[in-house]
Amino acid sequence: MARIVVADDDVDIRELVEFKLSTMGHEIVAVGDGGAALAACRAQRPDLCVLDVMMPGVSGLDAIAKIRADPALADLPVILLTARAQEADVESGFDSGADDYITKPFSPRELASRVEALLNR
């Protein structure tokens, strides 16, 4: 199936996302911050990246900016998975270059559907 980088500083959320997507047959590279997500994306370009917004060091928004600025990764589909649910936050997420925006708490089934929709584009 697909190689997916998942970045979230919350271990429980990261493991939940990793479990759900791996049961769908995807290869998951799970990391704890945006800097590690960037390194994983550059080391072996994934098919999709799922980023938390609020992480220590490099935030999800900073990571998207760097992904979009890198010619080798600029078209990489990115989903933001975050507790930031205000309308301004969602707008900021899409303005930063996110392909989708999912707010926490989230349904693992909905996440799976959105991942599949992006991968099938």
Is residue 104 within 8 A of residue 13, CB to CB? The reply is yes
- State residue 23's pLDDT score: 96
- Please indicate, yes or no, whether the overall pTM of this predicted structure exceeds 0.75: yes
User: Domains of the chain: which residue ranges?
Assistant: 3-119
CA distance 58 to 117: 27
- State residue 73's pLDDT score: 97
For 54-92, what is each residue's pLDDT tens digit? 999 999 999 999 999 999 999 999 999 999 889 999 999
- State residue 115's pLDDT score: 98
91: phi then psi, degrees, rounded to nearest 5: -60, -45
- State residue 1's pLDDT score: 87
- State residue 114's pLDDT score: 97
Strands 78-82 and 27-31: unpaired
What percent of the chain stands above pLDDT 70? Answer: 100
Q: Return the CATH architecture of domain 3-119.
A: 3-Layer(aba) Sandwich (3.40)
Query: 118 in helix, strand or coil?
Result: helix
